[in-house]
A and B are shown apart, each in its own frame.
Chain A
Amino acid sequence: MLKKINLKGKTALVTGAGKGLGKACAIALAEAGAKVIIISRTLSDLNKVNKIIKKTKGTSKSFICDVTDVNAFKTVLTKINKLDILVNNAGNNRPEHFTKVKKKNMEYMTDLNMKAVFNIAQLCSQKMVKFKNRKKVGGSIIHMSSQLGKVGCEGRNVYNMNKFGVEGLARGMACELAKYNIRVNTVCPTFVETPMVKKFFKNKEFKNKMLKKIPLGRVAKESDVATAVAFLAADTSEMITGTSLVIDGGWTAQ
C-alpha cells in the first residue's frame, strides 16, 4: 500500500546545484538512489557537492555551466545518456520596491528565473521523451517555485512575476507532457535556511517581520524542501502532476 521514495536506476539533473536548495536536492536525490547530474557555474562548489554525494555512497557527475547559456547547456545534455528527473532550481532574487526596480535587475532576474527555466525545461523534456521505456518508467520535472508564486509580498514584485509565471508554466507543461508519462510539478517553499536567505535575514527587523507571517513560527530547512522534491521525483507521487507542493508553514493559508 505504501510506496517508498526510491530512485534507483534513475538519472536526475539539478541546476543551481552548487549551493543552497539545489545542493540539498542533489544530495537528497542521490540518497534516494538516483544518479545525479549537478550543474553550477562554480567549480569549487561542484567539487564540494560531489564529495558529499560520494561520502553518502551516491553517484554524481558535474558540469560547469551557466543556465542562461542555452548552447552550453545543450552541450551538457549531449554528454548524458538518459534523463528521468529534472530539478529546475537555478534562480535568484534582487528585492526592490516596485517604483525603484532597476531595469537591469528586472531583466537579470527574468532572464534567469523565467527564460532559463523555460529553456532548460524544454531541452530536458526533449531528452526525456526520447527514452524508449518512458511509458513504463515515468519522468518527473520539479520547478523550484516559491510561496511567492502564490501570494504577493513587499519588495518582491519581480520575483512574484517570475514565480507566478513558473506556476503557469508547470501547469501548461503538465498538460502537454502527460501523454509521455512525464509529470511536472513545483515546490513552493517559504523562506529556507539557505545562504541567500541568511543574507536577507541579516536585517533583523525584516527577519522578525517575515517570521511573524509563518504560523509555524520557523523557517523551512533545506531538508524539508529536498525531501518534498524527492517525493515528487519518485513514483510515490505517480498521479501528482500540474500542481504545487506548498512548504510554507502556513504562510499562504492566511
Chain B
Amino acid sequence: MGLFLKDINLKGKTALVTGATKGLGRGAAIAIAQAGGNIVAVGRNQLELNSLEKIIKKFKVKYKSINCDVNNYNKIKSYILNLKSLDILVNNAGTNIPEPFLKVKKTSMETILNVNTKAVFNVAQLCANQIIKLKKKNGSIINISSIFGIVAGQKRTVYSMTKFGVEGLTKGMAIDLAKYNIRVNSVCPNIVLTPRTKKYFANKTYNKYIKENTPLNKVVTVSDVATSIVFLASEASSMITGTSIIIDGGWTAK
C-alpha cells in the first residue's frame, strides 16, 4: 500500500467463479489466484476442473471445485450454502447462440435466457446471502456482461436482451447490497478470443467486422478482462459500485 496507490491484493479472500473451466472464467480464476485469492471453481467438466486445479495450486492458494450446472438451482444452492468462506463472486457462466432476430429459435432463446439471466440472478442472490451470513466486512460481485449490454450487434438480439438485463441487475444489486458493503459491478468486454468465440473469428467477414468496429484495432484478450475483474474484486476499487468497466478498445465510444 502506497501513499495514494492502493494494492491490488486478494490475500485471504475467497472467490467463487462460475463457468470456470474455459475462457474468461478460467482466466479470472487464474488471475485471482495470482493476486492471492482462494478459488471455488464451478464448472461442468471434471477434467477441466482438475486441470485448472493444477494451475491454481501453483499460486499456493486454496482450490475447491464444484461440478455443477448453474441451471440446477437446488444443487448449486446446497454447495453455496456450505461454503465456509466467500468474499467475491465472478458471475461468469453464460452462453450465446447468434441468430438473426427473425430466425431465433424458441429453444435457443430459452437456453440463453436460462443461463445468462435466470442462473446469473440465482447465483448472485445465493452468494450475496452467503457473504452476508458469513458476516464479511466487505464483498465484491462482478457480473460478466458485454458491450452488447450497452449497444446492439448483429445476430445478438437475445444476447443483448440478457446482457442489458445484467447491466440493470448490477445497478439494482449495488443499491440493495451497499449497506452490507458488498459492491456490485460488471465488466463489458468486446468479443474476447476464447474457445467459444474462436469459431466466429475463423470467419473472415466476422473478423473484419470486429476489427473495423474496434478503434484500437486489436482483439481483447482474456488477460485484459481478468485484470479488470481482479481490480474490481479488490479493495483498490472500494468506492466503485453499480457501474461497468468497458473493455472494448473504443467500440462503444463511437
Please list the residues of chain A having a beta carbon within 8 angstroms of any beta carbon in chain B: 1-5, 24-25, 27-28, 31-32, 52, 56, 170-171, 174-175, 178-179, 181, 183, 189-190, 215-218, 220-224, 226-228, 230-231, 236-243, 245-250, 252-254
Contact = CB atoms under 8 A, between A and B. Distances in A.
Given A171-B253, A239-B190, A245-B245, A31 B2 contact: yes
A235 to B, nearest CB: 9
A217 B6 contact: no
Nearest to B238: A224
Contacts of A221: 239
Given A27-B3, A227-B4, A239-B218, 6 more contacts: A1-B27, A2-B31, A223-B3, A238-B224, A243-B245, A253-B241
Contact of B178 (A31, A224, A249): A249
A31 B254 CA distance: 34
Contact of B217 (A24, A179, A243): A179
Interface residues of B, number: 52
Nearest to A234: B227
Contact of A239 (B27, B35, B221): B221
Interface of B: 2-6, 8, 27, 30-31, 34-35, 170-171, 174-175, 178-179, 181, 183, 189-190, 215-218, 220-224, 226-228, 230-231, 236-243, 245-250, 252-254
B34 A2 contact: yes
Given A181-B216, A241-B215, A250 B242 contact: yes
A171 B248 CA distance: 13
A191 to B, nearest CB: 10
B3 A56 contact: yes
A225 to B, nearest CB: 8
A217 B179 contact: yes
A254 B3 CA distance: 32
Nearest to B35: A2
A28 B4 contact: yes
B221 A250 contact: no
Interface residues of chain A: helix, strand, loop or mixed (majority): mixed
A175 B171 CA distance: 28
B245 A240 contact: yes
A220 B237 CA distance: 10
Nearest to A150: B243
B181 A1 contact: no
Given A1-B223, A239-B190, A215 B174 contact: yes
A248 B27 CA distance: 28
Given A178-B217, A215-B242, A246-B240, A253 B228 contact: no
Contacts of A189: 239
7 contacts: A1-B31, A1-B227, A175-B250, A223-B4, A224-B237, A227-B236, A240-B247
B230 A2 contact: yes
Contacts of A245: 240, 243, 245
A171 B252 CA distance: 9
Contacts of A250: 174-175, 178, 241-242
A239 B224 contact: yes
Contacts of B228: 236-237, 240
